Amino acid sequence: MEQKVAGIAGYGENAEHLAEQYESIEFEDVYRDVLHLFPTQPSEILDIGAGSGRDSAALARKGHAVTAIEPTKELREEGQLRHSMKNIHWIDDHLPTLKVAKQQARSFDVILLTAVWMHLEKEERKIAMKVISELLRLRGKIIMTLRHGPVPDGRQMFDVSAQETVELAGQSGLQVRHVSERQDMFSRNDVSWSIVVLEKI
């Protein structure tokens, strides 16, 4: 099944290196501009494309119950090894349909997508936005980062703007709470990021 997920191309064979890279930066640094929008009370959080589990672990340490979705087997195993915490539940699932997550019939206060959305084609993004909106509780938030810049060899990525994302979200009952831009944390001059926060109304 994993080979059919085009967006994960190039991740499995580099899982250990990528995990080291992800873990070299802190959750609080990645989301410093929107930390105030995360819940302060214990909440249900869905981390889509959890990678090495850096963000899931940071949120779990704050008392949240985290469902970590990672379709790349090697990265998922890295995450489970590095962050074996009782309040992180790892599952093998993927966008745009999130069939496994939907079968569990749960809803979430926060859905996190860190460097994930740009892997989806336009039609996949339409499907995925509707799906994640359905998994979100009323007044819940989707917090995502969008990567802008050249596509690394062997990867599938698309240039997705914050504006397009906000407009698409509006079609699924989501309103924008925050949009900002930031430089790359690995000091790549040709890479930049958008941070988008959406709320279910």
Q: CA-to-CA distance for 139 and 150, rounded, in angstroms?
A: 35
| Residues 41-97 pLDDT 10s | 999 999 999 988 999 999 999 999 999 999 888 888 988 988 888 999 999 999 999
Q: Give yes or no for a contact between 197 and 34, defined as CB atoms under 8 angstroms apart.
A: yes
CA R_g for the chain: 15
Q: What pLDDT, on a 0 to 100 scale, did the predictor assign at position 99?
A: 95
Peptide bond into 96 cis (omega under 30): yes
- Tell me the two tokens of residue 141: 């938030």
Q: What pLDDT, on a 0 to 100 scale, did the predictor assign at position 154?
A: 74
Q: What pLDDT, on a 0 to 100 scale, did the predictor assign at position 38?
A: 98
Please give the backbone phi and psi of residue 141, each rounded to the nearest 5 degrees, phi first: -125, 140
| Residues 2-54 pLDDT 10s | 345 544 444 455 656 766 777 778 999 999 999 999 999 999 999 999 988 99
pTM: 0.89
Fold of 2-200: Rossmann fold (3.40.50)
For the segment 172-196, the average pLDDT, to the nearest whole number, is 93
DSSP structural state of residue 128: H
Q: CA-to-CA distance for 154 and 81, rounded, in angstroms?
A: 26
Q: Give yes or no for a contact between 145 and 162, defined as CB atoms under 8 angstroms apart.
A: no
Q: CA-to-CA distance for 155 and 167, rounded, in angstroms?
A: 26
Length of the chain: 201
Q: CA-to-CA distance for 79 and 11, rounded, in angstroms?
A: 13
Domain limits of the chain?
A: 2-200
